[in-house]
Amino acid sequence: MSQQAVEYIEENKERFLDELKEYLRIPSISTDPTQKDEVARCARWVADHLEEIGIDTVEIEETAGHPIVYAEHCKAPGKPTILIYGHYDVQPPDPLDLWDTPPFEPDVRDGKIFARGATDDKGQLFAHVKGLEAHLQTSGELPVNVKLLIEGEEEVGSPNLTPWVLENKERLACDAVVISDSSMFAPGVPTITYGLRGLTYFEVTVTGPSHDLHSGLFGGTVPNPINELAKIIAQLHDADGRIAVPGFYDDVIALEDDEREQFASLPFDEEGYLAETGAPGLQGEEGYTTLERKWARPTLDCNGIWGGFIGEGAKTVLPSTASAKISCRLVPGQDPAKVLELCQNYIEEIAPDTVKVEFKPHHGGDPVLIDRDNETVRAACRALQKSWDAETVFTRGGGSIPVVATFSNELESPTILMGLGLDDDRLHSPNEKFNLECFYKGIETSAYLWNEL
Amino acid sequence: MSQQAVEYIEENKERFLDELKEYLRIPSISTDPTQKDEVARCARWVADHLEEIGIDTVEIEETAGHPIVYAEHCKAPGKPTILIYGHYDVQPPDPLDLWDTPPFEPDVRDGKIFARGATDDKGQLFAHVKGLEAHLQTSGELPVNVKLLIEGEEEVGSPNLTPWVLENKERLACDAVVISDSSMFAPGVPTITYGLRGLTYFEVTVTGPSHDLHSGLFGGTVPNPINELAKIIAQLHDADGRIAVPGFYDDVIALEDDEREQFASLPFDEEGYLAETGAPGLQGEEGYTTLERKWARPTLDCNGIWGGFIGEGAKTVLPSTASAKISCRLVPGQDPAKVLELCQNYIEEIAPDTVKVEFKPHHGGDPVLIDRDNETVRAACRALQKSWDAETVFTRGGGSIPVVATFSNELESPTILMGLGLDDDRLHSPNEKFNLECFYKGIETSAYLWNEL
């Protein structure tokens, strides 16, 4: 990046912050129908802003839901094309009374900006916008070709994004996708996330008697669906915390030695992590560390269970049914549909003949593993190194970002998950914040990145 | 019984039925505060009726709840004293729209009288009242001393009965208690129930994290309270359907060979029983028949379970807590408090250190085993034989009648459970009925019984 661009960023920090505040003042709550106009206004604001900083083509694309802002600045023939993805919608701010300052009146204190959307994802996306501006306003051009895809429905599951991506595959063609909508491993530790877990989710209902029975008159002679469901759930893990469903691990791509070494070298505060959960102790699959368990090993967790009498006091009912919601976090290599089938077959096999078992699949999502060894990743590491003056760490994430699988499958482009936030940013909670250091270093990183590419 | 008494019963059948109808017309629903006056009117009706038939002393005893009707006719010095227990209150009639004729407008059809309370317990108790009348109105005296204890709170758990019994122990002193508030094993099969199961009831709550966590960010590293609760429940039974709590069976009085033979000789329709449950199959403790399992073996059943997300759809929550309500039916020899402690110790022992387990006891009740070999039982068998012209069978009951343990513990008198109803009487349900044959033979049995004693 030119010395001019560096100085431009330094000189305009105050204005950048004022603009971010303006952006954060728009209550673009995608799930709230009463805020539909504000969501549309926010899309307009983003589009106008991209035009102001000098982006060549800016469009607002209507969908069945909230609009998508799509922009292109492709004037560097022979250079790589980068797609930046982000979202301008935000979570609802409830409960309002837990906010120290109102969610849509951004407030700066202690070097942090507090507002709904500060980190998720307005602040992180805006860092890239300002990084582009630094080039355009100093040299009049960008060192790479850039496309921006900024949706307004990320917080409601992106229902209209995948269809739009499918319809616009050629337009979206790129060499890499850059997303900043996650966290750094720790303050001051630049981070690239290269793996995400997928998901398969299902519901099991066990029926014993066809109707509730009196436990005195029938107890001891008929199958109790709660007891039987509990036995089924207990058989889903072995004594070492491994999932006991046959074939479950068959397609798992094992952690490589260098990954395990890399995870082990991270400054992970296990005591602090335990304190954050509030549990009496941590537990998981034998033979793996906590970071390996949460980032790179599949899980099977009951998310809900219910059956029989659950009111106050005692009722001696022998219930007819008991149900559980169960989900598996999947790791790269695993297929949600295949795992679902394995679970169903196993559960039906281990259930006794004296009960009926019903199986109901819910949604799933693909796990993602991104190549760590390519030119885009190396360029991102150099950019991060320059702005943070620290070496980049590689982590995986335990959750899912469905759009990453869409880009990977449909655009066949590697994605760089370059989180600028921190774990304590309280996204989705009251008092969401974004550290100003993360914002400014993020602008620098973005500006450096276009050069490094 | 005198020939006069036999003829008296035969000649007065129509009037007895009319009187029963009058009794059944009073909506003495003890749980319904708006019917408090009707419950009091019913107590008055019973007391007046006992005076009319010639019972010596009749009193209405007020309690903190509904009144107790207490009566005595003790004019046979040197003869045994029998306490008859029954209740004049009834269950609510809901759902009203499922009744073919209104619950408090008794209707006779197909040899049965349909009304709320017909069998439970107005009809069964009234048979004894008419049996006493047959003696008093023909000879002017009773061959034994009789006391009657008729409460108005049986359907709400008899909260005021035990204190009243404790305060009136001397007054209630007797050689035997006769209760007709249960069923015959089959139509035309006179039955004495000599064992009842007890109960111990508790609630278990397992806590993992101190608050709900995101299953993507934390799954695989923290204890899941639903999975852990399921493992605990699964360990409460072994593979043979026996309860795995150490010491659980220590005090169980084993079935005697003659009891098992007696049960096996009963005309039990196992297919019909299975059909009644609607379950795909029956199951229980290895080595015991269905009747043995339901009458004379202890159980451990979950009555309710809940935890995590139980709404529609899917939510990937890793919940903080999961709870279950669990109860054990106990058999003679077992102590509810001791079994509760055994269960608590075992559950706390098998739970992993990574979760917190809370144990909350609910109510319990003692099991009952009544001596089958005494003069009162033999007299009852002779009376039943004379009226039914069939041999009496001895059964046990899977449920509990708490007042029987009270009589056994406080009055130290054997109880004869001589059910006059049938299993299809639909007590507590719409279209409750009492077969007229059971009513008339019950009057005869009662009249014979006083002679046989």
A272 occurs within a structural domain: no
The confidence band for B238, taking pLDDT boundaries of 50, 70 and 90, is very high
Say whether both A89 and A231 belong to one domain.
Answer: no
Domain count, chain B: 2
| A220–B285 C-beta distance less than 8 A | yes
Let me know if residue B270 belongs to a domain: no
Dump pLDDT digits (tens) for B96-115.
888 999 999 999 999 999 99
Min Cα distance A232 → chain B (Å) is 8
Q: Does residue A284 belong to any structural domain of this protein?
A: no
Q: What's the confidence (pLDDT) of residue B145? A: 97
User: Is residue B302 scored above 90 in pLDDT?
Assistant: yes
Instruction: Supply the pLDDT for residue B23.
Output: 98
**Position B217 pLDDT exceeds 90:** no
The answer, for A354 touching chain B at a CB cutoff of 8 Å, is yes
B269 is catalytic: no
B19, B38, B72, B89: the catalytic one is: B89
Name the pLDDT band for A428 (thresholds 50, 70, 90): confident
Residues B256 and B341 in one domain: yes
* Mean pLDDT along residues A225-236: 98
Q: CA B357, CA B48: separation in Å to the nearest integer? A: 56
pLDDT in tens, A201-221: 999 999 999 988 888 889 999
Answer yes or no: do A152 and A192 share one domain: yes
Percent of chain B with pLDDT over 70: 100
Residue A84 confidence (pLDDT): 97
Of B319, B343, B365, the residue at which a domain comes to its end is B365
Cβ of residue B354 closer than 8 Å to a chain A Cβ: yes
Q: Return the pLDDT at A375.
A: 87
- pLDDT of B356 higher than 90: yes
The answer on pLDDT for B14 being more than 80 is: yes
Residues 383-402, chain A, touching B (beta carbon < 8 A): 397-400
Residue B152 shares a structural domain with residue B202: no
> Which CATH number belongs to the domain containing residue A113 in this structure?
3.40.630.10
Task: For residue range A44-91, list pLDDT tens digits in order.
Answer: 999 999 999 999 999 999 999 999 999 999 999 999 999 999 999 998
pLDDT in tens, B130-181: 999 999 999 999 999 999 999 999 988 888 999 999 999 999 999 999 999 9
- Residues of chain B contacting residue A318, judged by C-beta atoms under 8 Å apart: 301, 303
pLDDT value at position A156? Answer: 83
Residue among B181, B126, B151, B186 at smallest CA distance from B420: B181
Residues A146-158 have a mean pLDDT of 93
A 10 A CB-CB count for B120 gives 25
Structural domain contains residue A277: no
Please say which residue of B365, B382, B399 terminates a domain. Answer: B365
Q: What pLDDT score does A315 carry?
A: 82
Domain final residue, candidates A364, A385, A415: A364
- The pLDDT tens digits for B379-404 are 999 999 999 999 999 999 988 787 88
Q: Examine the domain organization and report whether A192 and A202 are in the same domain.
A: no
Per residue, the 3-state secondary structure of chain B, as one string, reads: CCHHHHHHHHHCHHHHHHHHHHHHCCCCECCCHHHHHHHHHHHHHHHHHHHHHCCCEEEEECCCCCCEEEEEECCCCCCCEEEEEEECCECCCCCHHHCCCCCCCCEEECCEEECCCCCCCHHHHHHHHHHHHHHHHHHCCCCCEEEEEEECCHHHCCCCHHHHHHHCHHHHCCCEEEECCCECCECCECEEEEEECEEEEEEEEEECCCCCEEHHHHCCCCCCHHHHHHHHHHCCECCCCCECCCCCCCCCCCCCHHHHHHHHHCCCCHHHHHHHHCCCCCCCCCCCCHHHHHHHCCCCEEEEEEEECCCCCCCCEECCEEEEEEEEEECCCCCHHHHHHHHHHHHHHHCCCCCEEEEEEEEEECCEECCCCCHHHHHHHHHHHHHHCCCCEEEEECCCCHHHHHHHHHHCCCEEECCCECCCCCCCCCCCEEEHHHHHHHHHHHHHHHHHC
Strands B191-196 and B393-397, bridge-based pairing: parallel
Q: Do B59 and B101 belong to one domain?
A: yes
pLDDT tens digits along A167-190: 999 999 999 999 999 899 999 999
User: Average per-residue pLDDT in chain B?
Assistant: 94
Residue B321 is assigned to a structural domain of this protein: yes
* pLDDT for the residue A400: 80
What CATH code is carried by the domain that includes residue B298? 3.30.70.360
> Using alpha carbons only, how large is chain B's radius of gyration in Å?
25
Is residue B364 over pLDDT 90?
no
Residues A184 and A234 in one domain: no
Where do we find the tokens 């990954």? Answer: A259
Using a CB-CB cut-off of 8 Å, the residues of chain B touching A354 are 279-283
Residues A45 and A176 in one domain: yes
Q: What is the mean pLDDT of chain A?
A: 94
Domain annotation covers residue A186: yes
The pLDDT value given to residue B305: 98
Confidence of residue A374 (pLDDT cuts 50, 70, 90): confident
Are residues A375 and A355 both part of a single domain?
A: no
pLDDT of A102 > 80? The answer is: yes
| B192 and B333 within one domain | no
pLDDT over 90 percentage in chain A:
83
Q: Do A300 and A439 share a structural domain?
A: no
Cα dihedral B280, B281, B283, B288, rounded to 10, equals 160
> Do A416 and A321 share a domain, yes or no?
no
A316 contacts chain B (CB < 8 A): yes
Residue of B227, B238, B240 best to disrupt the A interface, most CBs of A under 10 A: B227
- Inter-chain residue contact B201 with A322, CB threshold 8 Å: no
Task: Using CA coordinates, name the residue in chain B closest to A285.
Answer: B220
For position A373, what pLDDT does the model report?
Answer: 86
**Model confidence band, residue B312 (pLDDT cutoffs 50, 70, 90):** confident
Longest dimension (CA), chain A: 86
Concatenated DSSP letters of A410-425 = II---EEE---B-TTS
pLDDT in tens, A243-288: 999 999 999 999 999 999 999 999 899 999 999 899 999 999 999 9
A307 in contact with B at a CB cutoff of 8 Å?
Answer: yes
- Judging contacts by C-beta atoms under 8 Å, the chain A residues touching residue B310 are 304-306, 325
The answer to the question of residue A283 being in a domain is no
B425 is catalytic: no
Q: What is the pLDDT of residue B400?
A: 79
Chain segment A239-254, per-residue pLDDT in tens: 999 999 999 999 999 9
Interface-testing mutation among A300, A302, A356, with chain B (most B C-beta atoms within 10 A): A302
B288: in domain: no
Residue B392: per-residue pLDDT = 95
- Domain of residue B42: give its range: 3-196+367-452
For the stretch B406-427, pLDDT in tens is 898 888 888 999 999 998 898 8
Position A443 scores a pLDDT of 97
Arithmetic mean of pLDDT, A398-424: 88
